[in-house]
């Protein structure tokens, strides 16, 4: 299972570093966007320069995954990007759906393998006052210091 985790982490990291850097360096020619809402969406991302923010997140998350350190941070940075990739292809450009499923499956596998770092997000309820780890802050007597 450890080998599958390393392979998934490296594949996902390489994909995001490559395509993230492509946003800045344009070394892989991009095909014209499909007609309809997908074209309008992509044009809005390019015209607003939003793609540079997405590209930076892709590069940062990919490099973190490739480094093998802080993997939960890399997955956290890439999570919203992966959700948007999946939704874009489900709703506007179904031709890229197989690759979106592969990326999603790799990310979900890595998320499962690192689930102990995300378990706090799925706990039911909030801690009660008796379970709180923080002590209440006592207010100092402000008149004593005059």
pLDDT in tens, 60-103: 999 999 999 999 999 999 999 999 999 999 999 999 999 999 99
What angle do the packed helices 71-91 and 37-47 form, to 10 degrees?
140
pLDDT in tens, 28-59: 998 887 889 999 999 999 999 999 999 999 99
- Asked if 64 and 26 count as a contact pair (C-beta separation under 8 A), the reply is no
> According to the model, what pLDDT value does residue 30 have?
86
Q: Tell me the C-alpha to C-alpha distance, in Å, between residue 49 and each of 52, 85, 110, 136.
A: 6, 17, 30, 46
pLDDT in tens, 117-132: 999 888 887 666 555 5
Query: Model's pTM, two decimal places?
Result: 0.81
């Amino acid at each position: 299972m450890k080998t599958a985790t390393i392979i998934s982490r490296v594949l996902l990291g390489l994909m995001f570093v490559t395509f993230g850097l492509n946003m800045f360096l344009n070394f892989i020619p991009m095909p014209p966007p499909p007609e309809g809402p997908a074209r309008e969406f992509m044009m809005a991302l390019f015209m607003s320069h939003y793609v540079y923010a997405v590209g930076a997140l892709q590069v940062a998350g990919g490099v973190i995954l490739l480094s093998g350190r802080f993997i939960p941070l890399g997955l956290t940075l890439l999570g919203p990007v992966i959700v948007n990739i999946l939704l874009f292809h489900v709703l506007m450009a179904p031709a890229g759906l197989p690759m979106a499923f592969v990326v999603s499956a790799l990310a979900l596998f890595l998320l499962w393998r690192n689930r102990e770092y995300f378990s706090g997000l799925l706990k039911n309820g909030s801690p009660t006052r008796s379970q709180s780890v923080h002590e209440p802050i006592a207010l100092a007597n402000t008149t004593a210091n005059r």
